[in-house]
């Protein structure tokens, strides 16, 4: 599974994502007042919401598990003054994130590790806080939470942005996302048990499906039109087919998934 995820994010298609979404590799948050915001601005807002939920002090150590190209980690380090280790399975992302931290003058606070989130190369109880920001569905929830629990100190806050399966989810959809984006989704109702089994106390879950899903496809289409030249430069062959696949996938995900933010405390 991890090798497939690395191949996905190292591919030209995987590298294109952050260029289109403001260096983020997650979806966005919209509401009535910000319905006009483009994908990048809404992704930035979702990162701000995650930062708002995070409890971490200046100089404390934070782990960003599945860190993309480091944009959320950089925003967090700037906002809270903490030190952040990000881990990603993609060498492209690890190198890009490291370069971005250096360009921001934050290389003393941010460190990006190329590695597997199921085997984080750190001692037990290293970190004062952490998050999975749209990444845990690639890893397998139970195993990823157990490993997060191992590296977090008792009392540390863990925040999770996750796509949740809806009751209407089809077997075809599960097979499709497993094959194409190497992902497995769980229901919001599964979270209390998953968290308890991994040694976390679940503090709360916000269901923000209505702030994410209805906007997804129109905002994606707007972005693809805006970045047409960038896309054609990056994807040399069959870029139209790739874009059709993206739209199809986003529609399929909109119809089968919700979006939630969970907060928990390591016991
Ligand atoms: C959808 S991206 C989200 C990136 C970032 N959190 C963000 O919000 O911009 C998923 C991330 O999870 C990482 N990932 C998936 N499986 C992983 C694993 N087993 N170990 C480490 N990272 C993993 C990918 O490399 C990628 O960085």
**pLDDT tens, residue by residue, 124-137:** 999 999 999 999 99
For ligand 1, atom 9, the nearest C-alpha belongs to 25
Ligand 1 neighbours (beta carbon < 6 A)? 2, 5, 9, 24-26, 66-68, 71-72, 87-90, 93, 116-118, 133-135, 138-139
pLDDT given at position 1: 67
pLDDT given at position 235: 82
Which numbered atom of ligand 1 lies nearest the CA of 71?
9
> The sheet that has 110-114: what strands, in order across it?
110-114, 83-88, 61-65, 127-133, 152-165, 257-266, 200-207
Q: Which residue has the tokens 């289109």?
A: 20
Tokens at residue 251, please?
A: 């529609």
pLDDT given at position 240: 84
pLDDT given at position 228: 84
How far is ligand 1, taken at its centre, from the CA of residue 33, in Å?
30
C-alpha 113/C-alpha 1 separation (Å) is 19
Tokens at residue 38, please?
A: 């483009």
Separation of first and last alpha carbons in the chain: 29
With a cut of 50, list the residues of the chain below it in pLDDT.
none
How far is ligand 1, taken at its centre, from the CA of residue 36, in Å?
28
Q: What is the CATH number of domain 2-266?
A: 3.40.50.150
Which of 63, 66, 140, 162 to probe ligand 1 with, by most ligand atoms within 8 A of CB?
66
How far is ligand 1, taken at its centre, from the CA of residue 81, in Å?
23
Q: Nearest 10 degrees: CA dihedral of 213, 219, 220, 224?
A: 180
């Amino acid at each position: 599974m991890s090798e497939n995820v690395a191949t996905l994010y190292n591919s030209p298609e995987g590298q294109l994502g952050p260029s289109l979404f403001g260096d983020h590799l997650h979806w966005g948050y919209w509401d009535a007042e910000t319905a006009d915001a483009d994908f990048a601005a809404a992704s930035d807002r979702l990162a701000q919401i995650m930062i708002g939920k995070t409890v971490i002090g200046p100089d404390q150590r934070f782990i960003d598990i599945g860190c993309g190209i480091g944009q959320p980690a950089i925003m967090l380090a700037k906002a809270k003054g903490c030190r952040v280790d990000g881990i990603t399975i993609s060498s492209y992302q690890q190198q890009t994130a490291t370069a971005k931290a250096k360009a921001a003058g934050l290389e003393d606070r941010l460190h990006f590790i190329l590695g597997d989130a199921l085997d984080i190369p750190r001692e037990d109880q290293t970190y004062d806080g952490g998050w999975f920001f749209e990444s845990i569905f690639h890893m397998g929830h139970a195993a990823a939470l157990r490993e997060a629990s191992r590296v977090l100190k008792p009392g540390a806050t863990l925040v999770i942005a996750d796509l949740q399966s809806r009751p209407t989810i089809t077997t075809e959809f599960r097979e499709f996302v497993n094959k194409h984006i190497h992902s497995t989704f769980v229901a919001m109702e599964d979270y209390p048990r998953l968290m308890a089994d991994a040694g976390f106390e679940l503090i709360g879950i916000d269901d923000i499906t209505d702030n994410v899903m209805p906007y997804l496809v129109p905002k994606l289409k707007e972005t693809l039109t805006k970045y047409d030249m960038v896309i054609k430069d990056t994807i040399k062959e069959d870029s139209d087919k790739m874009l059709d696949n993206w739209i199809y996938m986003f529609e399929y995900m909109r119809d089968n998934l919700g979006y939630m933010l969970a907060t928990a405390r390591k016991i």
